[in-house]
Structure 1
Amino acid sequence: MPSRKIAWLLPGLLVVPFYAWGFDYETPAISPEDGSGYEEKPGWAADEFAVAAANPLATDAGYQVLKAGGNAIDAAIAVQMVLGLVEPQSSGLGGGAFLLYYDGHDVLAYDGRETAPAAVDGDLFMEDGEPLAFMEAVTSGRSVGVPGTVRLMEKAHAAHGSLPWAALLTPAITLAEEGFAVSPRLHTSLANDEALRNNDLARAFYYDEEGDPIEVGETLNNPALAAVLKRIARNGSAAFYQGGIAQDMVERITQHPERPGEMALDDLETYEAILRDPLCTPWQQWEVCGFPPPSSGHLTVMQILGMLDQQPLLEAPLDDGVTSSGWLHQFLEASRLAFADRNYYIADPDFVDAPGGDWSSMLAPDYLAERSALIGQESMGNGAEHGRPGEMQTSFAAQPTQPEYGTSHISIVDAEGRSVSMTTTIEQAFGSRIMSDGGTDLPGGFMLNNELTDFAFQPEEEGEPVANRVEPGKRPRSSMSPTLIFDRESGELLGSLGSPGGAAIIHYTARTLVALRDWGMNAQTALNLPHAVTLGDQVWVEKDRFPEATRDALRERGHEISERALTSGLQAIMRDEDGSLFGGADPRREGVVMGD
């Protein structure tokens, strides 16, 4: 595919050339998260700054902002706005995000997670005393939470940005107006999604009269999104949360033909992004910083790693370039125990208390030693039970396992050593399958999330409330795990990483951290390793990536093994000993790293 150049004007700065690259992709396997095959990537070195994102156009937007004198926050805004255009199945204006930021001195956690409308209750996804089928809930107005991404971006920019707000939206506006080439992953996601065709606006925009999706390489313009972005560029987040754009979202949610939602204009107008205290956890020579609840990511990742550190070595962790069956057994068992705690304790901290009154109780060394001692030679299957990390009793019930999907990840390190790790989402592919044109009556628009399906569908189990039940104004529990790594002795920033992938984000992130710290791998090699995931019972291993002997050895230990595509979207940027940067992008998606 030949290179294609677009020019945009960053107001008051310069004209920036914009490049899109062509790649050859294998035909992707159909899986709950559609990908674009598996293509080996080289990894990318840089001396001063680097940007990693899930689409080359988005990466380049961030790169050009850094070249123009912007910082990591500026670049993240430009990247996010382009991702919402070129990767609408994963994130966008209608979703939410967690942004972890290192400003050169402190780590800050910006929570842009969606919230439940004020009019909902715990029976949101119950009908006739039974929970709705998952996809019935997803593809409805009930699933849409109050979007947080725009207000999050504005709040972070007001505190830390250096370039004008409007300039950072210019790349996405230019691409939306002039068009971009449809990527293999977007085409595949459209082809595999029958539910999206049921939305009149999306069907008219993404499909032809026969219902076939727009082809790979075809130019796609999005006039409605361009108009919406222009309003936000001029008037800030108020243009999104009030007026015509907000009215259009509310009407589409509350007038859904089958199961309308309860969103009101006041829910949008009063939404706030929250600045939270990050969780920073010592891990041998590193300090790993991540997001606190309502994310379960950092706590569950560090529980897994803390338990693994106390396990005897059954065999060498690597066997001919893949993780060995002995290491995988311990990793999967630690995951079962960590997920049992996650499902029992973790929810929006404005609605539930931490065990023992402090979330760090779940990471106390003595507690993790106690949990690690439960790992034996045979799999515990679905028998993992939650522990008791604090003295305080809780009256919660464990949440049954539900599907979790979606998201995209951005990692950035700027020339001043500031860094962003941001995971952004609309939950399932194309979210609720409700598209809004912002009241513009132009073709295109943006997708609305289905984040409320991350709440427990059943508010109670055996008469006890579930911590992650639906409540008005509450933020649903997430697995997003944006991560920053520091040297414990010097305090120097060592890296930024994260991944999409629903609940499996936790496994992808934990395994990558082990590969980076313990196995001496660079960012790209660590991201290339095959995946293995369990949410508490069955084990999924990445299709065609593990030797049969490894799978058989796991079965001998009692693991129920199935193969499937596990489409992560890891991005990582690590600092080498000489101070230079090396970035990796997941070979399962279309991302690249750019830097100087």
Structure 2
Amino acid sequence: MTDERSSAMRASLCTLGFALLLGCSAPLVTRTDATSAAIQPEAASGIEARTGWATTRFAVAAANPLATEAGYRILRAGGSAVDAAIAVQMVLTLVEPQSSGIGGGAFLMHFDRGEVTAWDGRETAPAGVTESLFLDTEGQPLPFIEAAASGRSVGVPGVLRMLEAVHREHGRLPWPDLFAPAIELAESGFAVSNRLHTMLATDPALRDDAAAAAFYYDAAGEPWPVGHVLTNPALAAILRDIAINGADALHSGPIARDIVARVAAHPRGAGSLSEQDLADYRPLRRDPLCTDWRRYRVCGFPPPSSGHLAMMQIVGILDNLPPQTDVLAGDLPSVTWLHGFLEAARLAFADRALYVADPDFVAAPGSDWRTLLAPAYLRDRAGLIGEQSMGRAEAGNPAPETARFAPQHEQTAYGTSHISIVDAFGNGLAMTTTIESAFGSRILADGGTGLPGGYLLNNELTDFSFRPRDEAGMPIANRVEPGKRPRSSMSPTLVFDATSGELLASLGSPGGAAIIHYTARALWALFDWGLDAQRALDLPHVITLGGPVFMEQGRWPEATLEALRARGHEVSERELTSGLQAIQRTAEGWFGGADPRREGVVMGE
């Protein structure tokens, strides 16, 4: 890395709250706390301006500067994109525990020598679950936090075994080397960032776990302040074990027994996760969903993710609306475009609620998920969009047979972390990784080490429908079943030139169900409006999960809000904390963007 880039990177890190670790003299940036909302997966921690990063040979974009630095270190040592992703994930487990970690799962899209593969490390439901897992004694759904912050919500972690499987095929550096950055940081300590501090301060349940309360908060129950150097000896020991013994170190032996014991003894609700569940977990290599769109080929994850299907439905429906001029009014999308985007999202989410679930348990319409993206079907769906909002949309019928399931009521879905990487060998990946809710199940596991710290267990089972059936007894596709993988909104995306097959971009975001809107809008901004990656990620957000419309707070003129209301939309403002990362090809190499709403950066050479 050049001295100029090194200086710029250091300045970015100082600005983002790593002053104590790096010895910066600049004051820390103060950001505004935000109130939580049902559609807000993680608390907001302010906006930091970005200018984007240009590289020539390789690039890594991740949600935390220390994680990006770990990936950069691996790429510079001759590692592959997969090698770098493993190093990034291990550091994120340490420095961004609210979003992802070795106690959770991930979807990884990978490109190597013309082949695109989809690696499924999604958590699975334990063998002992029943479909009434999240119902109370009267058969009603539990409140979300009561379900999530408990042992009953913990699914079988999958990210480590998935990464190990991908590394066997695409790794260049030895597995143990990839854990060195995280182990070093866990032992020497890292400065608590403003975002982590904000998340700790606003979380309603993490303090209820004695181990987490002792580790992340002081004796008075206050979160460690920004800049406090936090070491994690338990995680260092766990990662060292995994580096030596592979993913089996987590799926058997003392670490596995520790997981099972904590889940079984949870005072708010025990789970059924067993050592056999952990031992039996297997990642899956799936066929990606690749959709031709204009002169591009967009590849994303198939079910159990709903992300690619919903994204490309939105994009395809927009393409079937009347052409517009002056779509961008200054730096903002026009009201006409926003109306079309929101109505397309309503239609996509209606189909998502009825059809999409684990394909090992639920058949696709017409036995092919691509029926939901068929050009004639999208034209018909676009024809339902008028000048006024349709309100609640109904699912379509993309195949002759009638749906055998009831639609799932929308429920809160939570957030994750996204990694985009291109290496010097022409490989690229997009990986979205999660423990589901902020701080997952709020269970801090020390791997049986007895040392302070550790890692957080997921609450991924709350991505299933709490209600297994509708009032008439019709089953919901995404209900809880043993061994099943919960539906996801994660949308790791790779974009190619449809003619040459050249990789053009890697992108994705955290954000619960809003991941779909964030990534679809970024895709459109990159390849329809021609914006660079940073400008595309900077644009303000607008989403609907099928009902009210949420506009990113303080980012839209009042005239835009009123114009949408005049079209029949129920509009309010919210903080919408995406965490988009994107890397796009340029004539000189690559250009990366990082979401200004979080603390991520891009590095490369």
The two structures share one fold, judged by TM-score above 0.5: yes
Choose which of 418, 424, 446 in structure 2 pairs with 1:409. 418
* Superposed CA RMSD: 1.6
Shift in Å at residue 417 of structure 1?
A: 1.4
Alignment deviations for residues 531-559 of structure 1 (CA, whole Å, 9 cap, x no partner)? 00000000000000000110000000000
Say if 1:523 and 1:560 are closer, same or farther in 2 by CA, change over 3 A.
Answer: same
Residue 58 of structure 2 is matched in structure 1 by 49
SS at match of 1:130: coil
- 1:194 is displaced (CA, Å) by 2.5
Equivalent residues in 2 for 1:140-179, closer than 5 Å: 140-179=150-189
Alignment partner of 1:85 out of 94, 99, 112: 94
**CA shift for structure 1 position 314:** 5.3
Q: Which residue of 2 aligns with 1:29?
A: 34
Deviations 1:143-168 (A, max 9, x none): 11000111111111111101000000
Inter-partner Cα distance in structure 2 for 1:390 and 1:354: 9
Q: Is the 2:263–2:270 Cα contact (8 Å) retained in structure 1?
A: yes
Match of 2:356 in 1: 346
One-letter amino acid matched to 1:223: P
1:529 corresponds, among 512, 519, 539, to 539
Q: Please, which moves more after superposition, 490-499 or 33-42? A: 33-42
Q: Deviations over 1:205-245 (max 9, x none)?
A: 01111110011011000000001001000100111100000
- Retained in 2: the 8 A contact 1:20–1:56? no
Retained in 1: the 8 A contact 2:114–2:501? no
User: How big is the shift at 1:104?
Assistant: 2.2
Does residue 129 (structure 1) correspond to residue 134 (structure 2)? The answer is no
User: Gaps spanning 5+ residues in structure 1: where?
Assistant: 5-17
In structure 2, the residue matched to 1:450 is 459
Q: Quick one: which amino acid aligns to residue 521 of structure 2?
A: R
267-276 or 126-135, larger mean C-alpha shift: 126-135
Deviation at 1:324, TM superposition (A): 1.4
C-alpha displacement at 1:3, in angstroms? 6.0
For 1:111 and 1:297, locate their aligned partners in 2 and report how far apart those are by CA, in whole Å. 14
Match of 2:366, SS state, is helix
Give SS of 2:167's match.
helix
Mapped partners of 1:589, 1:509: distance in 2? 15
Deviation at 1:29, TM superposition (A): 2.4
Maintained 8 Å contact 2:52/2:533: yes
Matched, 1:595 2:600: no
63-72 or 125-134, which deviates more:
125-134
439, 442, 447: which is aligned to 2:448?
A: 439
Query: Any stretches of 5+ residues in structure 2 without a counterpart?
Result: 1-6, 12-20
Partner SS, residue 181 of structure 2: helix
**Where does residue 265 of structure 1 map in the other structure?**
275
CA deviation string 1:435-474 (max 9, x = no partner):
1000000000100011100000010012110000000000
Note if contact 2:149-2:268 (Cα within 8 Å) is conserved in structure 1: no
Quote the residue 1:216 is aligned against: 226
Work out whether residues 28 and 35 of structure 1, in 8 Å CA contact, stay in contact via their aligned partners in 2.
yes
Equivalent pair of 1:357/1:392 in contact (CA under 8 Å): no
Partners of 1:170 and 1:392 in 2: how far apart?
53
Q: Aligned letter for 1:562?
A: S
Give the Cα separation in 2 of the matches to 1:303 and 1:3: 41
Provide the secondary structure at the position in 2 that maps to 1:131.
coil
- Mapped pair 1:376 → 2:386: yes
Whole-angstrom CA distance in 1 between matches of 2:296 and 2:289: 14
Counterparts in 2 of 1:61 and 1:19: CA distance versus 1, 3 Å: farther
Match of 1:7 in 2: none
Task: Give 3-state SS (helix, strand or coil) of 2:267's partner.
Answer: coil
Q: Which residue of 1 aligns with 2:259?
A: 249
Match of 1:585 in 2: 594
Equivalent residue number for residue 306 of structure 2: 296
1:475 aligns with 2:480: no
1:63-88 superposed Cα distances (whole Å, 9 cap, x missing partner)? 01000000100000000000110000
Q: Does 1:545 align with 2:555?
A: yes
Question: Which whole-Å CA distance do the structure 2 matches of 1:255 and 1:460 have between them?
Answer: 29
Contact 2:146 2:268 in 1 (8 A): no
Distance in structure 1 (CA, Å) of the matches to 2:545 and 2:577: 16
CA distance in 1: counterparts of 2:72 and 2:35, whole angstroms: 32
Paired residues, what number?
582
- Report the Cα offset of residue 19 of structure 1: 7.1
Give the Cα separation in 2 of the matches to 1:282 and 1:344.
Answer: 24
User: Using the alignment, how far apart are the partners of 1:28 and 1:507 within structure 2?
Assistant: 23
How far apart, in 2, do the equivalents of 1:233 and 1:570 lie? Answer: 29
Q: 1:464 aligns with which of 461, 468, 474?
A: 474
Q: Take 1:316 and 1:451, find their aligned partners in 2: how far apart are those partners?
A: 42
